[in-house]
């Protein structure tokens, strides 16, 4: 399997089908853990969650 990096892809929200020019991110800390915060990525149009990852500060 190979990964191809492409710059001409226009990501589309799977929920509202709008092309995403930007993605909004929310920093969330999980209570009761010492883990690093997580990032919640949401669609700027419908606010539905696109992805959750560990937090990166850049």
The secondary element (H helix, E strand) that includes residue 32 is none
Residue window 1-40: x/- pattern of binding to Zn ion, with contact defined by CB under 5 A: ------------x-xx------------------------
Asked if 41 interacts with Zn ion (CB under 5 A), we say no
Asked if 43 interacts with Zn ion (CB under 5 A), we say yes
Which of 36, 30, 34 minimizes the C-alpha distance to 55?
A: 36
Residue with tokens 């149009």: 45
Token pair for residue 41? Answer: 């990525």
The residue from 23, 30, 35, 46 that contacts Zn ion (CB under 5 A) is: 46
């Amino acid at each position: 399997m190979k990964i191809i990096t492409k710059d001409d892809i226009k990501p589309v929200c799977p929920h509202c089908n709008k092309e995403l020019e930007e993605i909004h991110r929310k920093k969330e800390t999980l209570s009761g853990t010492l883990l690093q915060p997580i990032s919640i990525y949401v669609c700027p149009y419908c606010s539905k969650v696109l992805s959750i990852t560990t937090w990166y500060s850049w």
